Structure 1
Amino acid sequence: MTEKDIQKWTGEVGLQYTERNPQTVEELEELREEQYGISQTELYEEIIGDFERDIQILEVGSNVGVQLRCLRKLGFENLYGLDVQSFAIKKSREHAPTIPAVVGEGSHLPFADESFDLIFTNGCLITIPPNLIDAVQAEIVRCSKKYVMGQEFHSDKYIAIDSEHDDQLYWKTNFCERYLDNQDVELVESSLLSYVNTSNVDQMFLLKKLDS
């Protein structure tokens, strides 16, 4: 991210984002039921439910760690979080002291190559400016040993979205296709998640590194 973007997310914009989003697994499940008519736990169970529970998993853009706690509910043991906002990481550690979480940003992940079996984002890539998205995706692939997973806003075009809550821009595109076009990965599974009460569509996808 640029210094301006980092300042937004580490400042008032980031604080507002953290405070208005789910803090508990129960709140997340309720939100997903309202959005898609299916819980987040069920979504994860469908896409990685047959994975070994002791694999190393990193979430990039983990905020307060609610997605990681959702995965822990499914029995996954080795979970790690990373977010650019120190306040969110502090809250994450308070909610789940046994899930390590560190401050860092996506275009320069502080990890060695192939450090994790699976790296995922959930509503993170939508915050990355288009000129940096390839660098962030490349870092995610670099640090993954085998799998990359995502759940993000979806569009066939690259579209900027004005937030109703703050002055932060968000973007939607086909993030899965962008991985496939620019990184050494292949598609394992992809599905579109239609919203119950709006025309919005998200995409959930699982990718595998080539030759892994």
Structure 2
Amino acid sequence: MKTTQQEDFWSGEFGQHYTDRNTRDRLEWDEFYQQNWGLTKSEMNARFTEGWSANTRILEVGCNTGMQLRGLQDAGFENLYGIELQSYAVEKAKQTTQHINIIQGSGFELPFRDGFFDVVCTNGVLIHIAPDDLPKIMDEMVRCSGRYIWGFEYYSPELKAIPYRGNEGFLWKADYAALFQQRHPSLRLVKQELYPYINAAESGNVDYMYLLEKTA
């Protein structure tokens, strides 16, 4: 399968620097979210996973070194999978995770059967997919999910391109839950919460978490 410009970018040297810059241990991971949004990622996750059983089968698309999956594991989830484009991040994940199934691959071609997972999720991944390519990854996520699509992404009411560390064409913000529903009208919005950055008055930046459920 032909790779996109964004896949080439993130699987190369820039992506490795990103991984090194953003790899944190469990305590640092929660502290990072606390400092930037006023809540830990564990607290955010708990608001959306309440009532899910320990054996809920969860796939994270673009899991990098598996920090989110480790957080879910610490919350009691036992059936965790990740797929990550960057081989460097996958190798680091293997050094820092146990009993989590992380493989190298593309979100555009998930190597799993239809409906294999209860939940398919992303965390800061769709923001790096070119708008023209979003339908492909969204279709794959919906195909592999038996019930939920769960996301944590950079939010804007309208799709907007923004520069990323001096590079153009590698970061967008949007209402990704709405884009999922436009593409797949049978998805029902179960819950969403906006998380403004603590410095949002200056930056205007907002992230959000959303949960969609398949109804057909």
Aligned counterparts, 1:14-33, within 5 A = 14-33=15-34
Counterpart-to-counterpart distance in 1, 2:211 and 2:103: 24
Which amino acid letter does the alignment assign opposite residue 193 of structure 2? S
Identity value in percent: 36
Counterpart-to-counterpart distance in 1, 2:208 and 2:6: 24
Q: Counterpart of 1:197?
A: 199
- Is the 2:129–2:170 contact (alpha carbons within 8 Å) kept by the matching residues of 1? no
Which amino acid letter does the alignment assign opposite residue 205 of structure 2? N
Which amino acid letter does the alignment assign opposite residue 187 of structure 2? V
Counterpart-to-counterpart distance in 1, 2:74 and 2:169: 32
Summarize deviations over 1:141-180 as a string: whole Å, max 9, x none.
0000111100000001111111126666211110010111
Which amino acid letter does the alignment assign opposite residue 189 of structure 2? L
Summarize deviations over 1:94-136 as a string: whole Å, max 9, x none.
1013211111111111111011000100001001000001111
- Report the TM-score when normalising by structure 2: 0.93
Counterpart-to-counterpart distance in 2, 1:161 and 1:73: 34
Counterpart-to-counterpart distance in 2, 1:207 and 1:57: 14
Q: Counterpart of 2:214?
A: 209
Counterpart-to-counterpart distance in 2, 1:85 and 1:25: 21
Which amino acid letter does the alignment assign opposite residue 93 of structure 2? S
Counterpart-to-counterpart distance in 1, 2:154 and 2:130: 14
Gaps of at least 5 residues in structure 2 are none
Counterpart-to-counterpart distance in 1, 2:165 and 2:4: 23
Counterpart-to-counterpart distance in 1, 2:197 and 2:5: 32
- Report the TM-score when normalising by structure 1: 0.95
- Is the 1:83–1:104 contact (alpha carbons within 8 Å) kept by the matching residues of 2? yes
Check 1:51–1:159 CA distance in 2 against 1; reply closer, same or farther (3 A cut). Answer: same
Check 1:165–1:28 CA distance in 2 against 1; reply closer, same or farther (3 A cut). Answer: farther
